[in-house]
């Protein structure tokens, strides 16, 4: 008699997108659990895409777990870092797929942080006009944000994430054990995206993060599990209503307009994405206060939490001669900009956000209050 096929455990969070729906599995020991991969598309081959930092830690263990399901397993270790999120690195994935004779059923497994996930997802969207892929995020930032929702892409020297596609994974597998090997700086960067969810959607969660931040920094398993699950729940609810960011989904970019400008202006990789977002939230909160959405006490409360998380709260100087002009030029190529007009995600009250246009003079005031001096 044939053995009953193993069934994947019910995911903790589900992304409801009709035929493109999928689950987010959150827990310890998921990387090597056979149940994590039950029910995924089967194929003659699979490609594990990782990087030179994560690959040596986890690629062999993942390959062992996948071996019963895929007769041919290929691995690729990309160079590590935001500076490599570009066409050249993307082509390494395409070249590997073509050189190994991979067909359109081949499944890509993205094993790593946000850069690996974004590159792998974009490659999966493009290769033979679309092959399945699975996200296995190994950083806190990727587990709570970038692996969820189907945004994939690469950077351009003039703007972050400006080239890409919406392409949903088959599954997201968040093994909390992988956070044990995460450098402290990367953990702090991930906390920026955790903190973000409170001001835009759930002040009770914001209160919880304030209370449990020390436990999160200490990597307490229960605290991390709750932070990842609640973050994914909030993002899933937003993405389920607005998959392609035609409206509501833009609120997930709180702090990102300034943050992306900082990353591009300094050079990709100088600041981690979460560091730039943390600082960007300070500036966005200040703009929200100048627009009347929140009061000064809330701005200071958010700044204090961001600082406690180990994130920068002072915006870097991008141009000693015309710092405001440099910020404006970079932000005008943000994806939310329309006809050269910059749009920001601002708080209309704590726990609620909306997309707004802001006069340049208010941007100047925010930078004057929270920017580095020449």
Residues annotated as part of the active site = 129, 151, 193, 235, 245, 249, 253, 256, 260, 273
DSSP class of residue 371? Answer: B
User: Distance between CA 261 and CA 94 in Å, rounded?
Assistant: 29
Nearest to 139 by CA among 234, 235, 53: 53
Note whether 320 and 313 are within 8 A (CB): no
User: Cα(192)–Cα(200) distance, rounded to whole angstroms?
Assistant: 13
95: number of Cβ within 10 Å: 11
Residue 373 corresponds to which tokens in the numbers above?
């001096």
d(CA 320, CA 369): 16
Tally helices (H) and strands (E) across the chain.
12, 11
CA-CA-CA-CA torsion sign (51, 57, 59, 65): negative
Q: Which residues pair with 355 in a beta bridge?
A: 345
């Amino acid at each position: 008699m044939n053995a009953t096929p193993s069934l994947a455990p019910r995911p903790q969070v589900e992304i409801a997108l009709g035929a493109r729906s999928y689950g987010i599995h959150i827990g310890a020991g998921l990387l090597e659990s056979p149940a994590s991969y039950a029910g995924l598309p089967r194929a003659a081959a699979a490609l594990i895409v990782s990087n030179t930092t994560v690959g040596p830690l986890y690629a062999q263990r993942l390959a062992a777990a996948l071996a019963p399901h895929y007769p041919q397993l290929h691995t690729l270790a990309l160079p590590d870092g935001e500076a490599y999120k570009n066409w050249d690195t993307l082509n390494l994935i395409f070249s590997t797929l073509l050189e190994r004779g991979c067909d359109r059923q081949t499944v890509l497994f993205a094993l790593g942080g946000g850069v690996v996930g974004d590159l792998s997802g974009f490659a999966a969207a493009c290769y033979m006009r679309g092959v399945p892929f699975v996200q296995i995020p190994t950083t806190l930032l990727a587990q709570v944000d970038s692996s969820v929702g189907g945004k994939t892409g690469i950077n351009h020297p003039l703007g972050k994430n400006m080239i890409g596609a919406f392409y949903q994974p088959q599954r997201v597998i968040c093994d909390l054990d992988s956070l044990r090997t995460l450098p402290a700086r990367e953990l702090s960067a991930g906390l920026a995206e955790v903190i973000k969810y409170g001001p835009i959607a759930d002040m009770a969660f914001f209160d919880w993060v304030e209370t449990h931040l020390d436990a999160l920094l200490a990597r307490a398993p229960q605290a991390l599990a709750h932070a990842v699950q609640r973050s994914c729940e909030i993002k899933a609810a937003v993405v389920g209503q607005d998959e392609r960011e035609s409206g509501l989904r833009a609120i997930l970019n709180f702090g990102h307009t300034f943050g992306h400008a900082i990353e591009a202006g300094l050079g990709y990789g100088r600041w981690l994405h979460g560091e730039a977002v943390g600082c960007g939230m300070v500036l966005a909160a200040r703009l929200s206060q100048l627009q009347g959405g929140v009061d000064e006490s809330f701005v200071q409360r958010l700044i204090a939490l961001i600082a406690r998380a180990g994130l920068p709260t002072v915006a870097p100087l991008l141009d000693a001669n015309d710092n405001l002009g440099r910020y404006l030029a970079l932000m005008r190529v943000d994806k939310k900009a329309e006809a050269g007009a910059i749009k920001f995600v601002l708080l209309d009250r704590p726990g609620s956000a909306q997309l707004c246009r802001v006069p340049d003079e208010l941007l100047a005031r925010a930078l004057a209050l929270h920017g580095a001096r020449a």
